[in-house]
Amino acid sequence: MAALGVASILPVMQSVSRAGAVDRGTRIASMVARLTPAEKLALVQAEMTPAQGGGPMIVTLPGVPRVGLPALRMALGDGPGLPSPLALMATWDTDLARRAGLAHAHAVRAAGRAIVPMGGVGPVPTGRTRDGEDPLLSGRVMGGAASGLLAGHVLPLFGGKGVAGPGATRADRLLGLYLAMEQARGAGILCRTAIADAHPAATWTGGGRSAMDGISGMIAELADREVAGDGMARQPFLLATLAAGVDLEGSPATDTLFAVVLRQAVSGGAVQPATLDRMIAHILLPLDQAGVIDRPPPFGALGTVQPPHDPLAEEELAEGAVLLRNENDVLPLATTGGATADGPVLIVGAGAAHDAARALVEALGRTGQAARLAADSPGGGHSPADVARADRIVVFSEGPQDDRLIAAIAGSGGHVVVVLLSDDPDRPMPWLDLVDGVVQAWSWRGGGEAALAALLTGQRDFAGRLPATFTGGQVPAQVSLSGYKAFDRAHVAPLFPFGYGLSVRARFSYSDLRVTRDGTRLVVSFGVTNSGSGAGRDVPQVYLDLPAGVGDAPKRLVGWRVVQLEPGQAARLSLGIDAHLLGQWHPATLEWVVPAGDYALSLGAHSANLVRQAMVHLPELHVPGALPDSESE
């Protein structure tokens, strides 16, 4: 029996190419061979405990202490973990993302968890506040965060709760997931839906696990409830789920597919024991790669540890906050209107934003900028009494419920800056033309007030760029599927375009865009100059214009660089563009195909402001969907 168990998972072990893979593969194969049939069936079933007292739902992977496997847990919902995907992507900084992942790994483990779901990329669409709008940006940034989690001995699972089926553009979702997995080898995939009858894992790629050959991690499917029916009636659904590559199932129900139907299918011969062995190997291998089998977190800590202070909150906010509007030079606050401003700044925060407003008042005081908190708590659209006496006002807003308040304050005659504290890219801003400044600070609530104070006073320049199109609530058809590409198709200008972000003092210009072909890669180079009066961080972006009739949109992001420049400083930058970013996904052949034709590459500050262009002719290229061997990276 042991020899059969090892042989059945040999292909899984051979697909892993990290250092030490031989020893790890032998260890996992030995563990699987020592498991009893009952233990094997138990290991592919996660236990889902409903949320208690407002806490998150807990998912437990049962352990087998006899063979050295501890029980491990994951929380679905709020708790210690990464900042919002959009906030992290707004930094466009993959190195910061990795450091954020590593820092958050300590918080996750301290809370008794060894596994964490990752937003931004995944097999099913989870909404614009969790999904990345562009596969390159989301894949690179969230892949960086996941690699940090792995380094901190936490296993990330890409995905979240969404709607299975033809939600987002499949090629885009597959590309984002591919790029993330390329950076975070050993990460898994999470398909979570309300009911397990939509075959989410079977539809997300048009090829299941085989669509990305080289995935050695688990594919987990969690459903809030199971599909109805007896064992025999549900067996076709089980076989389709296994064919898609699902290794682990979780549901609050007791008669789940893997608890009842899988047992019947194995005993009846419809599912071979070797298939079950490979599923378990897919589960155990990434857990071993992340180090959580030998170093499990303290199991008893779950539910007893509060989310700790984020040690990178200041840096995340400083690089991710986006300046959307700065009329009348309202920022920096120290020089409102182009002259030195006297008098304290009034800070207004309604509802839950009141604490953030108080924290900012204290942080501004530490910078030397006088500030005071509004004397009364505003509500019902009425301005605080002391607004009329203020020349400069900063208003914190969590959502549309504050629109009347913002409009009323803007009518007072003072200079108004609105700081948005939500991750809603579709929020209407009916007051936009009434205020001087708008800052997108994402779902910040505390821990980053010093960075925000430095940004508002000009001690630090704004560096964030939008990771999603801000639509203002006016959207063309299918904007939720492909973001800026939908606006391109419809020839409609959004409220604020993808990649957009202002600087207070820096002014960047681009020159001498060149492109050459190097095998299946393109190499792009260009010049960047800061002609402004202050230092700044720029994120020049390169987009690809596809030949007519190719693809689902006129252009796509294919690269960017982050550069910090002093006033008058210039730099020459270059970047490589992989063929995966140039082609179209073909599920029938499990490869990316780049059609022959003339391709235009454009350079600019954001998706709607591309000022330089270069052309290149490409022959037809075929690129396999397999993840590249990690030893060659």
Convert the pLDDT of each residue in 393-404 to its tens digit: 999 999 999 999
CB 217 within 8 A of CB 182: no
* Average confidence score pLDDT of the chain: 84
Please tell me the predicted confidence (pLDDT) of residue 444: 77
In the predicted model, is pLDDT for residue 385 greater than 60? yes
CA dihedral for 404, 407, 410, 413, sign (positive or negative): negative
**What is the per-residue pLDDT across 41-84, written as a single tens digit (0 to 9) for each?**
999 999 988 767 667 788 999 999 999 999 999 988 644 456 68
Task: Report percent pLDDT > 90 for the chain.
Answer: 54
Instruction: Please give the model's pTM, rounded to 2 decimal places.
Output: 0.90
Give Cα separations from 571 to 501, 509, 530, 565, 566 (angstroms).
20, 11, 9, 8, 10
SS3 content of the chain, % helix, strand, coil (to 5): 35, 25, 40
CB 277 within 8 A of CB 5: yes
In the predicted model, is pLDDT for residue 229 greater than 70? no
| Tokens 């597919």, located at residue | 257
Residue 580 banded pLDDT, cuts 50, 70, 90 = confident
Q: How much is the average pLDDT of 456-461? A: 95
Please tell me the predicted confidence (pLDDT) of residue 305: 43
Please tell me the predicted confidence (pLDDT) of residue 6: 43
The tokens for 83 are 């900042």
Q: What is the largest CA-CA distance in the chain?
A: 83
Please tell me the predicted confidence (pLDDT) of residue 550: 73
Q: How much is the average pLDDT of 29-38? A: 95
Please tell me the predicted confidence (pLDDT) of residue 576: 95
Instruction: Please list, in sequence order, all residues whose beta carbon lies within 8 angstroms of the beta carbon of residue 118, skipping any fewer than 6 positions away.
Output: 82, 85, 142, 145, 146, 149, 156, 157, 158, 159, 160, 180, 187, 190
Q: How much is the average pLDDT of 92-96? A: 96
In the predicted model, is pLDDT for residue 391 greater than 70? yes
Query: CA 417, 420, 426 angle in degrees (round to 5)?
Result: 125
Residue 7 banded pLDDT, cuts 50, 70, 90 = very low
Please tell me the predicted confidence (pLDDT) of residue 482: 62
Dist. CA 466–CA 586, nearest whole Å: 30
Q: How much is the average pLDDT of 254-258? A: 79
Please tell me the predicted confidence (pLDDT) of residue 417: 97
Nearest to 423 by CA among 398, 404, 449: 398
Please tell me the predicted confidence (pLDDT) of residue 303: 52
Residue 429 banded pLDDT, cuts 50, 70, 90 = very high
| Tokens 């009141």, located at residue | 354
Best-predicted range by mean pLDDT (40-49, 481-490, 561-570, 590-599): 561-570
Dist. CA 327–CA 436, nearest whole Å: 5
In the predicted model, is pLDDT for residue 516 greater than 80? yes
* Four-point Cα dihedral 469, 473, 479, 485, nearest 10: -40
CB 470 within 8 A of CB 324: yes
Q: How much is the average pLDDT of 15-33? A: 72
614 or 227, which is more confident?
614
Give Cα separations from 544 to 4, 408, 576, 603 (angstroms).
50, 44, 13, 9
Please tell me the predicted confidence (pLDDT) of residue 346: 95
Please tell me the predicted confidence (pLDDT) of residue 302: 55
Please tell me the predicted confidence (pLDDT) of residue 489: 84
In the predicted model, is pLDDT for residue 570 greater than 80? yes
Please tell me the predicted confidence (pLDDT) of residue 633: 34
Q: How much is the average pLDDT of 377-394? A: 79
Instruction: Please list, in sequence order, all residues whose beta carbon lies within 8 angstroms of the beta carbon of residue 70, skipping any fewer than 6 positions away.
Output: 63, 292, 293, 296, 299
Q: How much is the average pLDDT of 257-270? A: 90
Dist. CA 394–CA 58, nearest whole Å: 39
Environment class of 434 (CB within 10 Å of its CB; exposed 0-12, middle 13-18, buried 19+) = middle
Dist. CA 72–CA 589, nearest whole Å: 37
Instruction: Please list, in sequence order, all residues whose beta carbon lies within 8 angstroms of the beta carbon of residue 215, skipping any fewer than 6 positions away.
Output: 181, 189, 209, 245, 627
Q: Which helix (H) or strand (E) holds 624?
A: strand 621-624
The tokens for 43 are 């290991």
Please tell me the predicted confidence (pLDDT) of residue 12: 47
- Determine the 3-state secondary structure of 597 from DSSP: strand
Instruction: Please list, in sequence order, all residues whose beta carbon lies within 8 angstroms of the beta carbon of residue 38, skipping any fewer than 6 positions away.
Output: none
Residue 205 banded pLDDT, cuts 50, 70, 90 = very low
In the predicted model, is pLDDT for residue 627 greater than 50? yes
Q: How much is the average pLDDT of 105-123? A: 88
In the predicted model, is pLDDT for residue 1 greater than 50? no
Looking at beta carbons, which pairs linking 589-593 to residues 24 or more positions away fall under 8 Å? 589/622, 590/207, 590/210, 590/211, 590/213, 590/624, 590/625, 591/622, 591/623, 591/624, 591/625, 592/622, 592/623, 592/624, 592/625, 593/620, 593/621, 593/622, 593/623
Task: Report percent pLDDT > 70 for the chain.
Answer: 82
In the predicted model, is pLDDT for residue 340 greater than 90? no
Looking at beta carbons, which pairs linking 522-525 to residues 24 or more positions away fall under 8 Å? 522/558, 522/576, 522/577, 522/582, 522/601, 522/616, 523/574, 523/575, 523/576, 523/577, 524/559, 524/574, 524/575, 524/576, 524/577, 524/601, 524/603, 524/614, 525/572, 525/573, 525/574, 525/575
Identity of residue 129 = T
In the predicted model, is pLDDT for residue 226 greater than 80? no
CB 406 within 8 A of CB 435: yes
228 or 449, which is more confident?
449
